[in-house]
Amino acid sequence: MNGQPTVGERLVIGNPGEDIFAFAAELYPICRSITGHGVRKTLRAIRSHVDLEVHEVPTGTEVFDWVVPREWNVRDAYIRDQRGREIVNLAGSNLHVMSYSVPVHRWISLAELKQHVYTLPDQPDLIPYRTSYYAENWAFCMPHRLLESLADERYEVLIDADLSDGSLSYGEYLHKGESEDEFLLSAHICHPSLANDNCSGVALLTHLAKRMAEVKTRYSYRFLFAPGTIGAITWLARNEESVKRIKHGLVVSMVGDGGGPTYKKSRRGDAKIDRILAHGLRHCGLKPTILDFSPYGYDERQYCSPGFNLPVGLFQRSQFGQIPEYHTSADNLEFIAPDHLALSYRLIAEAIDVVENDGIYRNVVARCEPQLGRRGLYGAIGGDKGTADANMAMLWVLNLSDGRHSLLDIAERADLPFSLVRRTAQILRDHGLLSVCDIGAEGAR
């Protein structure tokens, strides 16, 4: 803290929301699954922005209790009636084919077709998103209203797909800081045309990694783009020894809609990242939801499995599974917006700012309060919501800067934004009232 813009402030310069939305729109049409050409195409798109290292892990590789599955690629798919009219096809929406469907090409009755079609009767105009990664099956997905309209005749079904030995692909980018201690930022890249889940998360972390490359940091930042569940498990299996360097972590998904924000704590429940996100969201001006950990959700449940118990939480806007658009064709580009993406990005940047700038200080005038008036310190902080908060921040920082409390400790106890407490500490330090004990402290509690 030397009067220059902090890491968090430098990350949000410009208009990140528009850039993130544009990249999410580029990713949206790609047909992705947990393996295959769509995943590689997505990783190539990310690599056009950051120096991404792509890994290929062969089919059959044992990763703890799992095995890397066969690779799946689909070229074409359709349902046609007896007149040759296409009812649904892959070109219309890649949600029309259940992910990992085995190849099929034959004529079947309407009754048999219905055994291989998923719909949403309660949302009759939407296409559901369905997968069958580890059980061989085939199916189509379509609006329930469309299925109800089909005549009782025979239909030609085609799924032109391969399910064969190949590899699982994932990418990672490491921004090296002054320390080898790491902040893990993870996004799943297996979902097809679902804009919020998770084109938004992939696009946001790509933009963050691109901006991070221009900034000097104390911590190192590892960005991981991997298929959900099996990708995270594979990465953990291949990095079992090095994960001990992870001191903070966030899984990022569903960050483009206007809900929330939502934060799900790590398994530890009191990790520093849990404190940082809970504190930051409390001062974000919205109505956040803070959830305790549960072993259901996204890849945080792999990072937080008992054999690792990493300090990794989940950041979202709306909570997964709690909105009608979730895993349906309504999760499209109209459902996300640059403004929502920009706010999500800012909240994550603010969390990084706390990680980078937290520290422990000592009040050099520890016996009673120093005389602030003659130093011109009352009202010295401009641009805050009120002089009262600025003055209270000074009193709190001076009182709790005893060599034991970090700035985050002080911000939490004073119920003031960390950014205000950080700027206040800088001003007091510039006036010779604080000395540094430990920059980058993990906190005293």
Residue 372 confidence (pLDDT): 76
Q: How many CB atoms lie within 10 A of CB 166?
A: 19
pLDDT > 70 fraction of the chain, expressed in percent and rounded? 96
- Residue 180 in this model has a pLDDT that exceeds 80: yes
Tens of pLDDT along 39-70? 999 999 999 999 999 999 999 999 999 999 99
Q: What are the φ/ψ torsions at residue 338 (nearest 5 degrees)?
A: -55, -40
Question: Residue 277: its pLDDT value, please?
Answer: 98
The β-bridge relationship of strands 220-226 and 154-164 is: unpaired
Q: Residue 206 pLDDT > 60, yes or no?
A: yes
Alpha-carbon distance values, 372 to 210, 362, 379, 402 (Å) = 42, 17, 10, 18
pLDDT for the residue numbered 314: 98
State phi, psi for 114 to the nearest 5 degrees. -60, -25
Which residues lie closer than 8 Å to 429 by C-beta, 6 or more apart? 1, 361, 435, 436
> Which residue type, as a one-letter code, is found at position 65?
D
pLDDT in tens, 244-302: 999 999 999 999 999 999 999 999 999 999 999 999 999 999 999 999 999 999 999 99
Strands 104-109 and 154-164: antiparallel
Mean per-residue pLDDT of the chain: 94
The whole-number pLDDT of residue 445 equals 36
* Residue 415 annotated as lining a ligand binding site: no
Q: Is 55 annotated as a binding residue?
A: no
**Number of other CB atoms surrounding residue 48 within 10 Å:** 10
Per-residue pLDDT at 441 exceeds 80:
no
pLDDT bin (cut points 50, 70, 90) of residue 379 is low
User: Which amino acid would we find at residue 216?
Assistant: K
Instruction: Name the strand (E) or helix (H) holding 388.
Output: helix 387-400
Q: Could you tell me the two tokens for 312? A: 């990794």
CB 204 within 8 A of CB 345: yes
Residue 1 has pLDDT above 90, yes or no: no
Rounded Cα gap, residues 363 and 259, in angstroms:
41
Residue 191 marked ligand-binding: yes
Q: What is the percentage of the chain residues whose pLDDT exceeds 90? A: 87
Residue pLDDT, tens place only, 392-422: 999 999 999 999 999 999 999 999 999 999 9
Domains of the chain: residue spans and CATH? 7-68+167-356 (3.40.630.10), 73-164 (3.50.30.90), 359-439 (1.10.10.10)
Q: What is the pLDDT of residue 294?
A: 96
Q: Alpha helix locations (H) across 213-337?
A: 230-238, 272-282, 300-303
pLDDT tens-digit map of 232-253: 999 999 999 999 999 999 999 9
Enclosing H/E stretch for 140:
strand 140-141
Region for residue 224 given its phi and psi (left: phi exceeds 0; alpha: psi -120 to 50; beta: otherwise): beta
What pLDDT was estimated at residue 131? 97
- For residues 204 and 343, what is the distance between their CA atoms, to the nearest angstrom? 11
pLDDT of residue 443: 45
Please give the structure tokens belonging to residue 235: 């990465």
- Read off the pLDDT of residues 89-137 as tens digits, 9 standing for 90 and up: 999 999 999 999 999 999 999 999 999 999 999 999 999 999 999 999 9
Asked if residue 444 has pLDDT above 50, the reply is: no
- The bridge status of strand 220-226 relative to strand 182-188 is parallel
Q: What is the pLDDT of residue 3?
A: 61
